Amino acid sequence: MKITVKGAGLTLRGVLEGTTTIQNDEVAILMHGFQGDRGNEPGKLLYDLAHHLSAAGIPTIRFDFAGCGQSDGDYSKMTILSELLDGMAIIDFARTTVGAKKIYLVGHSQGGVVASMLSGYYRDLISKLVLLAPAATLKDDALRGECQGTAYDPQHIPLTVPVNGQVVSGQYFRTAQLLPIYETAQHFANPALIIHGNDDQVVSPEAAKKYNVILQNSRLYLVDGEDHSLEGTKVAETLQLVTDFLQE
């Protein structure tokens, strides 16, 4: 079913799947990455994962961050901080409207960074955390002045930076340089699963390895032959790993 949630004055749009009623005891919240969306067709990681979890009896919320997909907002105003606020609004929706007693956060790439930090902020409410190719290197990239092939002066960040033909705000990079990513995530003590492709050319698997060190109750899977999208020949393995972990 389609859902709308107010986040920082903007309407976030998504879908609640794997259930015929809005009230559910558990729900997995799926968060997409940089310049992405929630995934609206087969072959997209979060779309396939949502349907795999639904088939296993785990309801999911899959939504677009503000400025992405079908949600309101201007992408040029997106920052990790704004996505944290979006995520908080979705978590509160899961707590109140859905009434979930067990909330799982699942994030891919930048969505993994957001999910990891939210798990620290909501360490009393989040039951399990799943990080898929978590892009914690975005902080290192911002300090170097590089973003997916686009270079800029990290000491004199411009108002906007064009990345892959899309405008990204200077505020995104300024705040990224000082983000306490691992420092916040390390407060999460419940079970965590980390999956990263060994052939990832966008985010080094070293980010996943560091998460595995700072998250005290985590397990790490490095998948041979998979790139950053995790949508390659091993995607079925990834989907099953996540499903098994959340069913435990």
Q: What is the pLDDT of residues 149-181, one digit of tens each?
A: 999 999 999 999 999 999 999 999 999 999 999
Instruction: Return the pLDDT at 7.
Output: 80
- Residue 131 pLDDT exceeds 90: yes
Can you tell me the mean pLDDT for 85-113? Answer: 97
Q: Considering only CA atoms, which of 169, 143, 146, 167 is closest in space to residue 155?
A: 143
12-44 pLDDT per residue, tens: 999 999 998 999 999 999 999 999 999 999 999
207-232 pLDDT per residue, tens: 999 999 999 999 999 999 999 999 99
Question: What percent of the chain is modeled with pLDDT above 70?
Answer: 100
Confidence of residue 73 (pLDDT cuts 50, 70, 90): very high
Can you tell me the mean pLDDT for 63-71? Answer: 96
- Residue 93 pLDDT exceeds 90: yes
The SS3 assignment for 171 reads: helix
When comparing pLDDT for 9 and 89, which is higher?
Answer: 89
Q: Considering only CA atoms, which of 175, 177, 150 is closest in space to residue 161?
A: 150
Instruction: Return the pLDDT at 9.
Output: 82
User: Cβ contacts of residue 213 below 8 Å, gap of 6+?
Assistant: none
The SS3 assignment for 136 reads: coil
Distance (Å, whole) CA 242 – CA 132: 9
CA dihedral 113, 200, 29, 182 (to 10 degrees): -20
Instruction: Return the pLDDT at 8.
Output: 78
Q: What tokens were used for 111?
A: 């969505």
Average pLDDT, the chain: 96
